[in-house]
């Protein structure tokens, strides 16, 4: 399992590989939250927001296990800030390699950490 995470983190240069898991989980939550804003139906948006919420809950639990005393409000504030960065890239971001890399990373990360994302 650790080999998978190591290989996954090596896919991303810079801070992702060196940041706490809770931070990466917040990154994944922001990916889904941003995507929810661009879909055509409320049903699709609700499914994406459910996934964002599941990542946020995982981020909070992970932060606590890392010894960080965080509130749900603080986690969502972090996710919202990360979502703003995705929003600034516009809808074209969904066709970018960066977005594909992040979705692949989040999928593998969820599987490795035993996080079941219901969408």
Read off the pLDDT of residues 62-75 as tens digits, 9 standing for 90 and up: 999 999 989 999 99
CA–CA distance, 51 with 63 (Å, rounded to integer): 18
pTM for the predicted model, two decimal places: 0.81
CA–CA distance, 36 with 39 (Å, rounded to integer): 6
Give SS3 for 3: helix
| Cβ atoms of 18 and 29 closer than 8 Å | no
CA–CA distance, 75 with 4 (Å, rounded to integer): 26
Read off the pLDDT of residues 9-55 as tens digits, 9 standing for 90 and up: 444 444 455 889 999 999 999 999 999 999 999 999 999 999 999 99
The C-alpha R_g of the chain, in whole angstroms, comes to 14
């Amino acid at each position: 399992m650790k080999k998978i995470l190591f290989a996954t983190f090596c896919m991303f240069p810079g801070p992702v590989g060196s940041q706490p898991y809770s931070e990466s989980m917040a990154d994944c939550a922001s990916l889904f939250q941003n995507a929810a804003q661009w879909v055509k139906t409320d049903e699709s948006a609700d499914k994406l927001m459910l996934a964002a919420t599941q990542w946020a809950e995982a981020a909070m639990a992970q932060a606590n296990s890392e010894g960080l005393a965080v509130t749900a409000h603080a986690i969502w504030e972090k996710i919202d800030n990360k979502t703003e960065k995705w929003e600034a890239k516009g809808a074209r971001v969904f066709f970018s390699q960066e977005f594909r890399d992040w979705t692949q990373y989040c999928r593998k990360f969820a599987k490795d950490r035993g996080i079941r994302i219901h969408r």
